[in-house]
């Protein structure tokens, strides 16, 4: 393992050295203390009968030698200190065992020393205990200081270094494993999240996992042995399903998390950019021209409150809206225009777009829920959600689809959920939203460069004509510069998100009636009978406050809104159930020449077949970190693919899932997402991936690679057709979502749903829901327009209730 | 002491009674894990009123000769813990079910608890239920009357809701 050996010793390391020197001397003296009574004095007869003296002399001499050598260079001989700690811990355990089970009535001992064996053992335990505590304290302090860690412990840090050393594998590596681990530590230290400790668990598990195979911990293995171990135990055993299912889930989850951290640490480092052919937007040669042609528009100001602005323990408003994302912002916009006094509570922070930068990892930590680490219970399904003022619209791709007729029909089906959404009013709301956020077809110069050959391939395959729909996407984007950073926040005011447009407009229209409190996490609600009276919140500075209101609306997004209900014991039997998603599965292809897919709008083209096959295919590309996180292949394969980053194009297959997911307050973090795709959804995914692969092949890519656990490459359509048969279940695929929906579905039925058709939570007079959790089923297309339109449609119900309450 | 614990009873006997209550609560939780937020205030109201009312009623009915004497600790636990907490929880969970189901649940749970108290403490010892002879009849009779509680409670709650905000029938 590389170490920064040449730096001078830090004060903590010098303290450890001093302790080791003292111990070396003490242990040496102890040798004589053991031997002398055997040679001289009245204790001799008793001593000669004690067989353990020899062992003790050997032990103490060895420990002395270890301490002596380790004190010579505490960095290089770090492992010796660990052995010293280990020896003392074992010694303590052995003495406890003796106290419990051994026959300690040695009469000679008592007679000559005037002390019982039991008392002697207690004394020895106390002495060893003190040494143990001192050693652990000094060692941990020295390790922490040495690595200058923000979040990880030295053990986790070393585990990550060890993994990075073998996972990022190929010619021309640009940064060291230690650099990678340091980048990761900086990232993990940069945001607050409940699930962050899972990364610690994964790295600790990884370090100790080799012990099960009777091998040294990961960071203590030789590189070759370690590489072989990682290949065999983290990859092959999982792929061949040699482990029991529950254990395989754990191992796969652990390795997924740890691998992702590694890629994140490597590919976010600007020193690696050139090797993958990536140029950040501000360094691209044509950027000044693009900026001159489409300069950023003047910013609309948005005033928010932070916890520091909140002095009192109770706040008050006509309407309290939880969440400032797609649903919450549109609702607030409507309510302030209706003359109501609105207070929005947002868990995430408020960043002005001018604070957005090109550092992917920095932005992931700042703008996403759980720093983008949110996974389902089996660690196999990533659920991305924004967490900042503006919600997920700050990090989304702005792709806009109207709610398909067939979906609205299903929602309103009297034999199903019977949502009773008035179609005419809903469509009017949709039109209004479309206009408010300026949705237009994106036919400008700066689309994803891979979108053009992909679009041509769709046409050649005969998929472009009616009744299919295809072409450039519609989006709430104006004057796009094609920087490719939609998922880490648009710094140029081009994406007309809630943060950029709707909230500032609402605040302007409201003339002081719209307040937004950022850094305020709503835990649960309080009620008197059927009326909600207050929300209990935790501020980001650790204080708790109560926010009183006359009317409350939950717009915390799918998952979170259900969890607030569950934590409040509201609709406990139904909230969180019927959770669904647009599951995304990517497929990538390598072009023979550079196409720089990253240098344009991330999602630019799509194809939606009619009659629907249950999926939409969209062109898709990411800056290097996000791309690396899902890039197929392990070790050198992954590395080689990333080296061809500027020649790769990707398509995303979106499948509207069945409603078999569930959000619960259980699990390790009190926030658990349970989900596995049904066989039907898996079939649709595979069908979509094959179609995506065919489009990429037609566009000229060779090979194409569905994003799978085991790398699979296909160079002809005939080969590609064999792909579905190679997939046993979803564990073989890389799947995830940015579109969680449902959990609090609307239904007029008494025996189903959480929310009535007037958006009121069943059984409560003044509690409403206005976000993606309302969906009775997955929409199957990008959902933001539906979320916003539903919020606008439902605003009149909230306004009526608030008006009455006022 | 005999009037408090009952003849031959010790605190340990009462601990066993509490264990029985606990087991009943665990069973009830299978049907309904939590009490809906909107019902919390009503539950609190029931806990603080139903328990004391039953406590007093038990004593008065004993004085009237309709019930056997419940030692004071037995009466306190039965009225305040079992009826106050246990049956209130049961009511909060099953009040939207069909009437016969509510009746059956209340009657069966009450019967089980009475039998347990009878076996453990020797209480609920009486040879008739309003003239109908039989020890078992006595316990079954009072359990059947407990089964009527879910029909009485909403009537009372409806009246209370008129004056106390947040109370739901
Ligand atoms: C990477 C990505 C790309 C996407 N691209 C598209 C796209 O191109 N087109 C499209 O249609 N959709 C897209 N989506 C999805 C779309 O943005 C969401 O479906 C939509 O924003 C959901 O709106 P919402 O109001 O339900 O929740 P959100 O917009 O997620 O807003 C919820 C807000 O509530 C806050 N919150 C949560 N819990 C609490 C709490 N306890 N207390 C206080 N506040 C809380 C959150 O921090 C968040 O700000 C994308 C999503 C992602 C992740
Ligand atoms: S690509 Fe996305 S982030 Fe970049 S300017 Fe266009 S809308 Fe903004």
Angle at A242 between CA A707 and CA A203, to 5 degrees: 65
Q: Across the interface, which of B33, B34, B166 has its CB nearest the CB of A529?
A: B166
Q: With contacts defined as CB-CB under 8 Å, which chain A residues touch B167? A: 529
Q: What is the pLDDT of residues A412-449, one digit of tens each?
A: 999 888 999 999 999 999 999 999 999 999 987 899 99
* CB contacts, 8 Å: B33 with chain A: 572-573
Same domain, A672 and A530: no
Average confidence (pLDDT) over A454-481: 94
One domain, residues A520 and A509 = yes
Q: Do A572 and B38 touch (CB under 8 A)?
A: no
Q: What's the pLDDT band for A784 if we cut at 50, 70, 90?
A: very high
Q: Are residues A731 and A770 in the same domain?
A: no
A701 within 8 A of A579, measured Cβ to Cβ? no
Percent of chain A whose pLDDT exceeds 90: 78
In a domain, A443, yes or no: no
Distance from the CA of A145 to the center of ligand 1, in angstroms? 39
Whether the per-residue pLDDT at A628 is higher than 90: the answer is yes
A751 CA: distance to closest CA in chain B (Å): 12
Q: CB-based contact (8 Å) between B42 and chain A?
A: yes
Residues of A in contact with B42 (CB under 8 A): 529
B36 touches chain A (CB under 8 A): yes
Residue whose Cα lies nearest atom 8 of ligand 2: it is: A490
Give the residue from A737, A760, A782 where a domain finishes.
Answer: A737
User: Which of B29, B33, B38 is the best mutation test for A, with the most CBs of A within 10 A?
Assistant: B38
Domain that holds residue B102: 2-27+38-161
From the candidates A523, A525, A528, which should be mutated to test the interface with B, based on the most B CB atoms within 10 A?
Answer: A528
Overall average pLDDT of the A67-86 stretch: 93
DSSP letter, residue A519: S
With the C-alpha atoms ordered A329, A330, A335, A339, is the resulting torsion angle positive or negative? positive
pLDDT band at A56 (very low <50, low <70, confident <90, very high): confident
Are A589 and A703 spatial neighbours (Cβ–Cβ below 8 Å)? Answer: yes
Residues A595 and A703 in one domain: yes
Ligand number nearest to the C-alpha of A786: 1
Structural domain contains residue B169: no
Question: What is the structure's pLDDT at B156?
Answer: 95
- Tens-place pLDDT, residues A142-169: 988 888 888 999 899 999 999 999 999 8
- Whether residues A529 and B168 touch (CB distance < 8 A) is answered with yes
Among the atoms of ligand 2, which is closest to the Cα of residue A493? 8
- Buried b / exposed e along A746-757 (16+ C-beta atoms within 10 A): bbeeeebbbbbb
Which of A226, A244, A271 lies at the terminal end of a domain, its last residue? A271
Q: Is residue A387 part of a domain?
A: no
Longest dimension (CA), chain A: 107
**Mean pLDDT computed over A12-30:** 95
Let me know if residue A4 belongs to a domain.
no
Share of chain B above pLDDT 70, in %: 100
Average pLDDT, stretch A161-178?
90
- Which of A569, A665, A763, A805 should be substituted to probe chain B, the one whose Cβ sees the most B Cβ atoms within 10 Å? A569
Please tell me whether residues A506 and A641 are part of one structural domain: no
* Domain-located, residue A796: yes
Please give the helix or strand (H or E) that residue A514 lies within, else none.
Answer: strand A514-518
Please check the confidence at residue B106 and state whether its pLDDT lies above 70.
yes
The mean pLDDT value for A360-375 works out to 88
Q: What DSSP letter does each residue of A408-433 carry, written as one string?
A: HHHHH-TTTT-----HHHHHHHHHHH
Distance from CA of B41 to the nearest CA of A (A): 6
Q: Is the pLDDT of residue A213 over 50?
A: yes
Tell whether the model's pLDDT for residue B116 goes beyond 50: yes
The residue-averaged pLDDT of B120-129 equals 93
The residue in chain A having the minimum alpha-carbon distance to the alpha carbon of residue B32 is A573
CA of A741 to the centre of ligand 2 (A): 25
Question: With contacts defined as CB-CB under 8 Å, which chain A residues touch B36?
Answer: 569-572, 763
Considering only CA atoms, which residue is closest to atom 7 of ligand 2?
Answer: A495
Of A529, A568, A569, the CB nearest to B41: A529
Ligand 2 pocket, CB under 6 A: A 477, 480-486, 490, 492, 494-495, 601
Residue A278: pLDDT above 70? yes
**Alpha carbon distance A579, A562 (integer Å):** 9
Counting residues of chain A whose pLDDT is more than 70, the rounded percentage is 97
pLDDT value of position A611: 86
pLDDT beyond 80 at A112: no
- How much is the pLDDT for A666? 85
Distance to chain B for A579, nearest Cα, Å: 21
Reference A771, options A805, A750, A800, A795; nearest CA is A795
Which range marks the domain in which residue A197 is found? 154-271
pLDDT at B121 over 90: yes
Residue among A193, A485, A556, A671 to mutate when testing ligand 1 (max atoms within 8 A of CB)? A556
Ligand 1 atom closest to residue A328's alpha carbon, by position in its atom list: 25
Q: Does B34 touch chain A (CB under 8 A)?
A: yes
Q: Examine the domain organization and report whether A218 and A315 are in the same domain.
A: no
Does residue B33 lie within any of the structural domains?
no
Residue A674 has a CB neighbour count (10 Å cut-off) of 18
Residue A118 is predicted with a pLDDT of 85
Position B52 in a domain: yes
Nearby residues of A92 by Cβ (< 8 Å), 6 or more positions away: A125, A128, A129, A132
- Residue A709 Cα to ligand 1 midpoint, Å, equals 28
pLDDT-based confidence at residue A50 (cuts at 50, 70, 90): low
What spacing in Å lies between the alpha carbon of A399 and ligand 2's midpoint? Answer: 12
CATH assignment of the domain containing A754 = 3.50.50.60
The rounded distance, in Å, linking the Cα atoms of A198 and A129 is 31
For ligand 1, the distance from its centroid to the CA atom of residue A496, given in whole angstroms, is 15
- Binding site membership of A771 for ligand 1 (Cβ less than 6 Å): yes
Tell me how many domains chain B contains.
1
Alpha carbon of residue A689 to chain centroid: 24
Mean pLDDT of chain A: 92
Interface test with A, best of B32, B33, B37, B169 (most A CBs within 10 A): B37
Same domain, A583 and A732: yes
Interface contact flag, B35 A569, Cβ < 8 Å: yes
Which chain B residues are closer than 8 Å to A530 by Cβ? 38, 166, 168
Query: Does residue A368 fall inside a structural domain?
Result: no
Please report the residues numbered 105 through 124 in chain B whose beta carbons come closer than 8 angstroms to any beta carbon of chain A: none
Q: Are residues A233 and A267 in the same domain?
A: yes
* pLDDT exceeds 80 at position A104: no
Check A527 against B38: CB less than 8 A apart.
yes
pLDDT at A106 over 70: no
Burial B32-46 (b: 16+ CB within 10 A, else e): bebbbbbbbbbbebb
A517 with A609, same domain: the answer is no
Q: A88-92, long-range: CB within 8 Å, 24+ apart, which pairs? A: A88/A128, A88/A131, A88/A132, A88/A135, A89/A132, A91/A59, A91/A128, A92/A125, A92/A128, A92/A129, A92/A132
**A764 close contact with B: CB closer than 8 A:** yes
Q: Is residue B32 part of a domain?
A: no
- B40: nearest CA in chain A? A529
Q: Which of B34, B35, B165 sits opposite A529 (nearest CB)?
A: B165
Task: Please compute the mean of the pLDDT values over residues A343-364 and round it to a whole number.
Answer: 95
Retrieve residue A188's tokens. 């993990």
Q: Ligand 1: does its nearest atom lie under 6 Å from the Cβ of A374?
A: no
Q: How confident is the model at residue A51 (pLDDT cuts 50, 70, 90)?
A: low
Give mean pLDDT, residues B97-125: 96
> Is A592 part of a structural domain of the chain?
yes
Distance CA A499, CA A353 (A): 8
pLDDT tens sequence across A753-780 = 999 999 999 999 999 999 999 999 999 9
Pocket probe mutation, ligand 2, options A390, A437, A601, max atoms within 8 Å of Cβ: A601
Mean pLDDT value across residues A171-184 = 91
- The verdict on residue A484 lying in a domain is no
Q: Is residue B103 part of a domain?
A: yes
Query: Residue A593 — pLDDT band, cuts 50, 70, 90?
Result: very high
Please choose from A371, A389, A391 the residue to mutate so as to test ligand 1's pocket, defined by most ligand atoms within 8 A of CB.
Answer: A391
Considering the domain architecture, whether residues A114 and A232 belong to the same structural domain is answered as no
In the predicted structure, residue A2 carries a pLDDT above the cut 50: no
The answer on A134 and A46 residing in a single domain is: yes
The pLDDT value recorded for residue A36 is 81
Q: Domain for residue A476, yes or no?
A: no
State the average pLDDT over residues A551-571: 97
Q: Do B166 and A527 touch (CB under 8 A)?
A: yes
- Asked whether residue A405 falls in the same domain as residue A534, the answer is yes
pLDDT at residue A493 in the model: 95
Residue A604 Cβ < 6 Å to ligand 1 = no
Cβ distance B166 to A568 less than 8 Å, yes or no, reads: no
Ligand number, closest to the Cα atom of A539 = 1
Burial of A107 (0-12, 13-18, 19+ CB in 10 A): exposed
Give the confidence band of A379 by pLDDT, cuts at 50, 70, 90.
Answer: confident
A672-693 tens-digit pLDDT: 999 999 999 999 999 999 999 9
Domain limit, last residue, from A686, A707, A737: A737
């Amino acid at each position: 393992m590389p170490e920064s050996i040449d730096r001078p010793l830090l004060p903590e390391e010098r303290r450890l050295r001093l302790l080791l020197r003292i111990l070396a001397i003490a242990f040496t003296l102890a040798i004589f203390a053991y031997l002398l009574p055997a040679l001289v004095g009245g204790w001799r007869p008793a001593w000669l009968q004690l067989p353990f003296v020899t062992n003790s002399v050997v032990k103490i001499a060895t420990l002395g030698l270890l301490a002596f050598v380790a004190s010579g260079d505490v960095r290089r001989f770090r492992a010796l200190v660990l052995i010293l700690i280990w020896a003392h811990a074992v010694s303590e355990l052995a003495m406890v065992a003796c106290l419990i089970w051994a026959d300690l009535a040695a009469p000679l001992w008592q007679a000559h020393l005037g002390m019982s064996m039991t008392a002697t053992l207690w004394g020895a335990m106390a002495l060893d205990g003190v040494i143990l505590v001192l050693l652990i304290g000094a060692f941990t302090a020295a390790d922490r200081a040495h690595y200058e860690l923000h979040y990880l412990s030295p053990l986790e840090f070393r585990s990550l270094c060890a993994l990075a050393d073998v996972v990022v594998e190929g010619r021309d590596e640009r940064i060291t494993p230690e650099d990678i681990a340091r980048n990761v530590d900086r990232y993990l230290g940069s945001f607050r999240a409940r699930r962050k400790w899972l990364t610690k668990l994964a790295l600790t598990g990884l370090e100790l996992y080799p012990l099960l195979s009777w091998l040294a911990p990961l960071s203590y293995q030789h590189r070759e042995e370690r590489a072989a171990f990682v290949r065999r135990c983290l990859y092959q055993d999982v792929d061949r399903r040699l482990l029991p299912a529950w254990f395989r889930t754990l191992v796969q989850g652990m390795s997924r998390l740890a691998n992702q951290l590694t890629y994140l640490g490597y590919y976010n480092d600007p020193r690696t950019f050139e090797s993958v052919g990536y140029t950040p937007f501000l360094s691209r040669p044509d950027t000044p021209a693009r900026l001159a042609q489409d300069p950023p528009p003047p910013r609309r100001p948005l005033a928010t409150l932070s916890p520091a602005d909140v002095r009192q323990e109770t706040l008050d408003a006509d309407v309290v809206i939880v969440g400032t994302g797609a649903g919450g912002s549109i609702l607030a916009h409507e309510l302030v225009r209706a003359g109501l006094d609105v207070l929005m509570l947002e868990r995430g922070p408020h960043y002005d777009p001018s604070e957005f930068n090109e550092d992917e990892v920095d932005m992931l930590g700042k703008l996403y829920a759980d720093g983008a680490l949110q996974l389902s219970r089996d660690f196999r399904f990533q659920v991305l959600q924004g967490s900042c003022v503006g919600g997920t619209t700050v990090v989304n791709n702005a792709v806009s689809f109207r709610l398909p007729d067939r979906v609205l029909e299903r929602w309103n089906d009297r034999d199903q959920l019977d949502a009773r959404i008035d179609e005419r009013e809903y469509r009017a709301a949709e039109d209004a939203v479309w206009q408010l956020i300026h949705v237009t077809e994106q036919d400008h110069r700066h689309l994803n460069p891979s979108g053009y050959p992909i679009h041509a391939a769709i046409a050649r395959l005969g998929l472009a004509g009616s009744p299919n729909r295809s072409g450039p996407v519609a989006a709430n984007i104006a004057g796009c510069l094609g920087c490719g950073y939609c998922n880490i926040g648009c710094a140029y005011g081009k994406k007309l998100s809630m943060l950029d447009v709707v909230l500032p407009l609402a605040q302007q229209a409201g003339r002081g009636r719209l307040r937004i409190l950022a850094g305020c996490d709503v835990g649960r609600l309080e009620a008197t009978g059927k009326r909600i009276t207050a929300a209990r919140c935790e501020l980001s500075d650790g204080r708790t406050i109560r926010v009183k209101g006359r009317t409350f609306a939950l717009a915390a997004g799918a998952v979170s809104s259900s969890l607030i209900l569950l934590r409040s014991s509201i609709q406990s039997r139904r909230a969180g159930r019927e959770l669904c998603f647009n599951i995304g599965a990517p497929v990538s292809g390598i072009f023979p020449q550079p196409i720089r897919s990253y240098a344009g709008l991330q999602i630019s083209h799509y194809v939606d077949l009619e009659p629907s096959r249950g999926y939409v295919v969209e062109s898709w590309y990411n800056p290097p970190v996000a791309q690396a996180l899902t890039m197929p292949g392990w070790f050198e394969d992954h590395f080689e693919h990333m080296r061809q980053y500027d020649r790769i194009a990707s398509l995303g297959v979106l499948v509207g899932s069945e409603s078999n997911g569930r959000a619960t307050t259980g699990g390790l973090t009190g926030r658990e997402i349970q989900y596995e795709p049904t066989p039907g959804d898996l079939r649709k995914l595979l069908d979509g991936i094959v179609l995506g692969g065919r489009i990429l092949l037609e566009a000229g890519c060779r090979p194409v690679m569905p994003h799978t656990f085991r790398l699979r490459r296909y160079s002809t359509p005939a080969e590609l057709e064999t792909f579905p048969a190679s997939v046993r279940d979803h564990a073989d695929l890389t799947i995830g979502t940015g579109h969680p929906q449902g959990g609090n579905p609307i239904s007029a039925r008494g025996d189903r749903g959480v929310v009535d058709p007037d958006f009121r939570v069943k059984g409560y007079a003044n509690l409403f829901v206005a976000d993606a959790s309302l969906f009775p089923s997955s929409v199957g297309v990008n959902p933001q327009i539906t979320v916003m339109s539903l919020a606008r449609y439902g605003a009149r119900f909230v306004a009526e209730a608030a008006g009455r309450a006022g | 002491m005999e009037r408090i614990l009952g003849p031959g009873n010790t605190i340990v006997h009462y601990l066993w009674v509490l264990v029985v209550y606990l087991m009943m609560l665990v069973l009830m939780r299978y049907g309904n894990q939590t009490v809906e937020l909107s019902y919390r205030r009503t539950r609190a109201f029931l806990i603080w009123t139903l328990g004391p009312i039953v406590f007093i009623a038990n004593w008065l009915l004993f004085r009237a000769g309709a019930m056997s004497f419940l030692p004071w600790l037995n009466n306190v636990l039965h009225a305040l813990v079992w009826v106050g907490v246990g049956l209130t929880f049961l009511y909060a969970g099953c009040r939207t079910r069909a009437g016969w189901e509510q009746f059956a649940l209340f009657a069966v749970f009450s019967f089980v608890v009475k039998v347990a108290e009878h076996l453990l403490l020797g209480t609920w010892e009486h040879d008739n239920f309003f003239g109908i002879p039989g020890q078992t009849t006595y316990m079954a009779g009072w359990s059947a009357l407990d089964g009527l509680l879910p029909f009485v409670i909403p009537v009372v709650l409806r009246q209370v809701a008129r004056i106390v905000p947040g109370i739901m029938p």
